[in-house]
Each structure stands twice: as structure tokens, then as C-alpha cells.
Amino acid sequence: SPEQQAVASAAPPPPPPPPPPRAPPGFTFGQTSSPTPSSGSASGSTALRAPERSRNRWQRESPPPSQSSLAGGIAGRRRAWLQTLKDEEALPEEVLMAVGDLKQHSKLMENVQDLTVAIGGLGRQRLWKKALELLGHARRAGLADTIMQTAALTACERGSQWEIAIALLADILQLEAAGSSSSLSRQSASGRGGGSEVGGEVRAFAAAMGACIGAHRWTRALDLFSGIRDPGLVPDIVIYNVAIHACETGHRWEQALCLLLESEGCPTPPTVVTYGGAISACRSALRWDWALILLEIMRHRSVGPDVIACSSAISACDKAHRWARALEVLSSMKARGPEPNVISFNSAMSACEKGSQWHIALQLLRELEERGPRPTLVSHDVAISSFGKGSRWESALALLADLPSRRFRPSASSYSAAIRACGNAGCWEMSLVVFAEADARNHGGQTMSVLYEGLQAVPPESRPPWMEAKVRAHFRHHQGRGGQPG
């Protein structure tokens, strides 16, 4: 009708069609003229479907993330961080990255448990400075409790920072004496398996003593052990083990035996570690007899012994030049257990070397090669040295030359043992040949002392005229390169 035509003419024109969707950066739409891709062409199908997905994604604006999704994301990342910090095999850079991500979230930095785990993870990597930085943050925020400070103290123990460890121990004792441990500390202790504060204080004492031992301050460690009862604490078997280890470091074998006897009054009886520490203390003091007595006590009480304690007893016999006793312990291990390892064999071989029993040392080396465990370079060095004690310098040089075929690179100890073997047999010309080879392999500075040692052992009237001149020429050569005769 005329009215409808008038209304249609007065209406505004229709809006233009929307522009085609813009492709995301790095995306290229498929160039196909046919709506159906060619048969067998996967790329054509993708080219047709990708623009539609892109159009839907780019035309519709994504809604802002909700608080629940943000919290879920942080919770997931927190679990990953804590898993890294608790991982014993994590790399230092991985731990540092996890701690750095943790610091970016203020809520997590207010969590006592997370901070304690982070300090513990840094401590395992010997990053004691970073651990103390986190502890300082926790102290300023009023979050530091006994367990957290003990974790920082353990980090100082791994770093041998004994003075800082003792200062932290004093802070922990002062905190507990003042009764200022909050209920948060007690709740977090039970939540983390930390036990009571008293147990935490004993752990702190043990960690501080370990830091002193690591810094060669074993007397300070024993002083701490003597004062553990002052705040009303009762030492347990763990702290007795640390105290016995301090006696081993200081060659206090009698005190170690007294502590072993005293530890029998603990609720937990002495363990393999306790007896093993006492045996090591006897070894360091050359008391092989007591080492063997303790080994028999362990068997009688069914406390092991383990391979570490047995190897330590063999080493005690080795240091005391008791090769027959060392072989007895090794035979007992083969018959009654535990199975000897390469350290056990090396200690027994060293005892035979000191006793000039080169044939037995060679027999043990062959047993390692035939039955296992696989011998090490130390095993071969001991065998070379044992040949020297038996004046079998040809066998020593043959074994030295055979090391590369056994997949070992001769070390300074290998060359030194061969030089001694030649020197003991009076073959100083061969000693200089071996030294020249060691010098060519950058071991000359370390073997020069062996050459000098042998030179002093030869009476002046028995020295060939050329020998001292050549040795001194080698010495001047190494002095010019900054080397020392040792």
C-alpha cells in the first residue's frame, strides 16, 4: 500500500555486515576455495575448522577469573612448591625458584608450616644464608616458633656455621624458658609431626652439636652435651649418637665407651649407629681390641652389626697393623654377614699391605674382580703399594700400566705407590721414569714428595751420583712452575 511504501522509505538503512574475524598473531587461515577439504588432507580440515574456533574465542570476551579459580591456582602451585622443597633430590636452583615463588604470595608467607618447610628445603641444600633470611622475616612477623628455629639451626649445621647455631640454640632456650611459645607453635608442632617442644629443644641441641663437629669444634660440642640437663632436658639416643661422634673426632675413645654405657638408660636402647660411632672412636685411637669387642657385643645383643660397623673394625685393625685380625673380621662377614662391600675389602687389603702380605692383597683384589663388588682405583693403588712392600717392583709397574685397560686413570696416589715400590727395591732409575710419566700427566707436584722421601731413605754413601742431581733438577723445575715438593 502507499502507506507501507512511505514507512519503508523513511526507515534507516540496515547496518553493514560485521567485519570478518581477525586471526590471532601467528595464525594463518587456510586458503581453500572448496568448503570440503580434499580427501586424505588433514591440514585442509584443520584450516577450515580453526577460523571458526578462533572466531568464537576472539568475538566473545572471556569473563574475569573468579576468586575461587585464583585460590585453586595458588593452591595447586603451593603443592608443587612444597613438593619441591621436600624433595631430597631437588637441585639447588629448583629449591631457590620454589622459595622465590613462595615469597611472591603474602598469604603463603604468613603460613608457619610453609615457612618451616621452605627453611628445611634451603637447609638441605646448605643454603643457610637464605634460610636465615626467611627466619628473619618470620621473626619480624611474630611467626617464628621452636620448630622453625630448629629448622634454621639445622641449616646452619649443614653449613658448619657453629657460632650462629649456638646463638639460635640460645634463642630457642630463652623462648621456651620465658614460656612465650604461642599456641600456634604447639599446634603446628603436632601438625608437622614435631612432637613436644621438649623434643624440639633436644633436636636443637643435637643440631648445634653437629654444627660444632662439622667446624672441627668437637670440644664445644661436648660442652653443649654436658649442659643439656641444665634446662631440665633429658638426652635421648639421637643426641648420644652425636656426642659419641664428637668423641670420635677428638680421639676420645674412653669417653665414647662411657657414653655408650650411659646411653643404655635411654628409653630407646643403643642402636647400630651408637655402636658404630663407638667403634669408629676406637679406630681413631688405634684401639683395635675394643673395636672387636664392641663388634662381638653387637652380635650377642642382635644389634646388627651393619657393614659400616664391620668395615670400621677392619679399618681399626688396619691402622694398628693387625692384618690377621682384619682378615678374621672379613671372613666373619662372608660367613655370618653382613655382605662385605668394596670398602671392607680395601681396608683388609691395606692391612695386608702394611703387614707386607702382598700375596694376600693380590688374592683379595682377584676376588673382587671375579666375585664383586667391582674394585675401585683405591683397590688397585693398595695392590701396587703392597707389591712395593714385597720388593716386587715389576708387578707394581705392570699393574700401573694395566690400569687404563681396567678403565681407570692413574692418579697421583697410583704413581706415588709405584715410585715407592721401585724405591724400596733400589730401582731408582725406574722411579725417575715413573715420576717423569706422572709429571707429564700433571701429577709431578704431588709425587715429588715421594721422590724426596725415598731419597732421604737412601744412605748418602749408597746414592748413585746421578740420582740426587736428577731429583734436584726436577725440584728446581717444579719450583719454577710454582710447585712444592710436599
pLDDT at position 428 over 50: yes
- Report the pLDDT value the prediction gives residue 50, as an integer from 0 to 100: 40
Res. 484 pLDDT band, cuts 50 70 90: very low
Least confident of 6-20, 106-120, 405-419: 6-20
Which residues neighbour 278 within 8 Å (Cβ) at sequence distance 6 or greater? 244, 253, 256, 257, 259, 260, 294
pLDDT average, residue stretch 340-369 = 94
Alpha-carbon dihedral angle through residues 329, 334, 337, 342, given to the nearest 10 degrees: 80
CA–CA distance, 54 with 71 (Å, rounded to integer)? 29
Rounded to the nearest integer, the mean pLDDT of the chain is: 79
Cis amide bond preceding 338, omega within 30: yes
Residue 216: the pLDDT is: 93
User: In sequence order, what DSSP letters do the residues of 139-166 get, joined into one string?
Assistant: HHTT---HHHHHHHHHHHHHTT-HHHHH
Mean pLDDT of 347-374: 93
C-alpha cell recorded at residue 254: 674412653
Tens-place pLDDT, residues 236-289: 999 999 999 999 999 999 999 999 999 999 999 999 999 999 999 999 999 999
Q: How far apart are CA 411 and CA 446, in angstroms?
A: 10
Tracing cell 599446634 back to the chain, one arrives at 187
**Residue 313 pLDDT > 50:** yes
CB 282 within 8 A of CB 294: yes
What local confidence, expressed as pLDDT, does residue 430 receive? Answer: 84
